């Protein structure tokens, strides 16, 4: 596992509005060799994560992107090749570029197929996903569609019952429309904690809760540095999370033609931080399904969940944070902002 020297932490908190952050991040990507389209796509993604308080995949990731681009591990100018393979299936060769521009290139065709066939699958290979996954699914739900996506990452998780790491942190994200309110969205790593959160805890000198990972001797540890330096993460929920992580490897890599988390080898590529793997997206048009209004039915489920005392749905925290960021600006500490401006050449 690689420990990334990400943006430093300090106490004062200037704020930026969303558009200003997007422009700043775009400048960084452009300055480090991406095409204008790739810069825009990545900047929107990363600024969106920061705005929504998804800090493990917000601006914290920028030095990792820069280092990867500088190293030549990823092609920031890649032009994805979209293949229309069947009535319900689209494939994309991301051409060793980032996954988000590959999704953007195939999106219109995917939606057209989902609306005509009721369901469509997008298989992206030869791609680097270094971001939160919810931005890939949430927009479909705003269009009345249901979306599920999986992506595999780099080997750092010990399968349940094994003694060495093999799986990635392999997230699963889901989005569904509902009649009254924001779409229902969840996005979770299949590891007990995301690798990015371990890096942030190590930076801040914080301990982790018990049960997240093991040290280089395979012993349980709450020290994030011990996990990053020769140790590994555990799946969430024991054998259950481990099975889901295995499923992600199969869907995101075996099915797409991408690398398994253990297959690419960046050891001899100094500066590489992004996993070179695959992503699968399934989009369903619910109007072709049960014959009932899906959004009303999902609203009913939410109503019932609230009626039994549920206070927080997945996504509620993000939307609360989004509203706050939109009203007050996105809070960044002064050192982080200075680092970003320097990377942008300002
Ligand atoms: N690109 C890659 O290869 C990888 C990316 N990641 C990304 O890391 C990010 C963080 O993952 P992870 O740490 O597992 O996420 P969290 O454990 O923070 O959250 C997982 C999901 O559960 C929801 N949630 C959290 N707490 C509660 C609660 N108390 N009640 C109800 N819902 C709750 C969250 O909603 P809310 O957001 O509203 O808090 C979110 O949808 C994800 O965006 C993931 O895509 C992870 C691994 C690899
Ligand atoms: O936080 C994580 O876990 C990861 N995020 C980006 C890609 C590598 C794993």
Mean pLDDT over residues 139-159, rounded?
98
Cross-strand partners of 185 = 175
Name the band, by pLDDT with cuts 50, 70 and 90, for residue 5: very low
For residues 103-126, give the mean pLDDT: 98
Q: Write b or e for each residue in 225-241: b if 16 or more Cβ atoms lie within 10 A of its Cβ, otherwise e.
A: bbbbeebbbbbbeeeeb
Q: Is 0.90 topped by the overall pTM?
A: yes
pLDDT at 10 over 80: no
* Averaged pLDDT, 146-162: 98
Q: What is the mean pLDDT of residues 155-170?
A: 98
| Residue whose CA is at the smallest distance from ligand 1 atom 24 | 314
Q: 122-131, 217-226, 283-292, 311-320 — which is least confidently predicted?
A: 283-292
- Structure tokens of 144? 């009345």
Q: Measured in angstroms, how far is the CA atom of residue 73 from the centroid of ligand 2?
A: 16
The arithmetic mean of pLDDT across residues 142-161, rounded, is: 98
Does the pLDDT of residue 233 top 90, yes or no? yes
Please tell me whether the interface predicted TM-score (ipTM) of this complex is above 0.90.
Answer: yes
* Pocket perturbation via mutation, ligand 1, pick of 213, 314, 319 by most ligand atoms within 8 A of CB: 314
Segment among 3-17, 150-164, 284-298 with least mean pLDDT: 3-17
Strands 172-176 and 184-188: antiparallel
Q: Flag the least confident range among 8-17, 84-93, 183-192.
A: 8-17
Is residue 3 predicted with pLDDT exceeding 50? Answer: no
Q: Would you state the pLDDT for residue 239?
A: 98
Whether 129 lines ligand 1, by a CB cut-off of 6 Å, is yes
Top mutation candidate among 153, 190, 248, 258 for ligand 2, by most atoms within 8 Å of CB? 153
Q: What's the whole-number average pLDDT of the chain? A: 95
d(CA 296, CA 14): 41
pLDDT at 1 over 70: no
Grade residue 8 by pLDDT with cuts at 50, 70 and 90: very low
Region 44-49: mean pLDDT is 98
Position 180 pLDDT exceeds 50: yes
> Residue 210, class by beta-carbon neighbours within 10 Å (0-12 exposed, 13-18 middle, 19+ buried)?
exposed
* C-alpha of residue 176 to centroid of ligand 2, in Å: 24
Model confidence at 304, pLDDT cuts 50, 70, 90, reads very high
A 10 A CB-CB count for 41 gives 23
Closest ligand to Cα 64:
2
What is the position in ligand 2's atom list of the atom closest to the CA of 197? 1
Contact 196 CB / ligand 2 (< 6 Å): yes
Closest CA to 158 of 73, 245, 72, 221: 245
Tell me how far the alpha carbon of residue 299 lies from the centroid of ligand 2, in angstroms.
Answer: 32
State mean pLDDT over 236-242.
98
Q: Which residues are catalytic?
A: 56-57, 197
pLDDT class of 12 with cuts at 50, 70, 90: low
- What angle, 0 to 180 degrees and rounded to 10, lies between the N-to-C axes of helices 36-51 and 99-117? 80
Tell me the best of 137, 171, 184, 191 to mutate to test the pocket of ligand 1, counting ligand atoms within 8 Å of each CB and taking the most: 171
pLDDT-derived band at 175 (thresholds 50, 70, 90) equals very high
Structure tokens at 121: 């699958």
Q: Is pLDDT above 90 for 22? A: yes
Confidence check: pLDDT of 290 > 80: no
189 lines ligand 2 (CB under 6 A): yes
Interior CA angle at 14 toward 8 and 130, to 5°?
A: 45
Q: In this model, does residue 160 exceed pLDDT 70?
A: yes
What are the E-state strand segments in the chain? Answer: 15-16, 81-86, 89-98, 119-128, 146-151, 172-176, 184-188, 213-214, 220-221, 232-233, 276-284, 330-331
């Amino acid at each position: 596992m690689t420990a990334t020297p990400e943006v430093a932490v300090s106490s004062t908190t200037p704020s930026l509005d969303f558009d200003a952050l997007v422009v700043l991040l775009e400048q960084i990507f452009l300055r480090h060799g991406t095409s204008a389209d790739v810069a825009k796509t990545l900047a929107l993604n990363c600024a969106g994560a920061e705005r929504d308080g998804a800090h493990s995949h917000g601006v914290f990731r920028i030095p990792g992107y820069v280092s990867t681009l500088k190293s030549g591990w990823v092609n920031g100018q890649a032009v994805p090749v979209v293949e229309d393979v069947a009535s319900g299936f689209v494939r994309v060769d991301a051409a060793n570029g980032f996954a988000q521009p590959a999704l953007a290139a195939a999106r219109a065709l995917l939606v057209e197929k989902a609306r005509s066939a009721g369901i469509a699958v997008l298989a992206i290979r030869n791609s680097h996903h270094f971001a939160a996954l919810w931005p890939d699914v949430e927009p479909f739900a705003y269009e009345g569609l249901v979306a599920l996506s999986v992506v595999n990452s780099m080997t750092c998780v010990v399968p349940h019952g094994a003694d060495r790491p093999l799986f990635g942190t392999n997230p699963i994200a889901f989005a569904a429309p509902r009649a009254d309110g924001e779409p229902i969205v969840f996005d979770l790593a299949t590891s007990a904690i995301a690798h990015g959160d371990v890096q942030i805890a190590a930076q801040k000198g914080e301990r982790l809760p018990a049960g997240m990972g093991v040290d280089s001797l395979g012993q349980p540890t709450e020290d994030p540095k011990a996990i990053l330096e020769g140790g590994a993460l555990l799946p969430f929920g024991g054998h259950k999370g481990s099975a889901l992580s295995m499923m992600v490897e199969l869907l995101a890599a075996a099915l797409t033609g991408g690398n398994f988390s253990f297959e690419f080898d960046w050891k001899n590529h100094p500066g590489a931080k992004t996993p070179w793997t695959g992503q699968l997206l399934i989009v369903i048009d619910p109007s072709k399904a049960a014959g009932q209004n899906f959004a009303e039915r999902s609203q009913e489920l939410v109503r019932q969940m609230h009626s039994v005392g549920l206070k927080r749905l997945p996504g509620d925290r993000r939307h609360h944070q989004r509203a706050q960021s939109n009203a007050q600006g996105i809070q960044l500490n002064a050192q982080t902002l200075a680092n970003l401006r320097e990377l942008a050449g300002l």
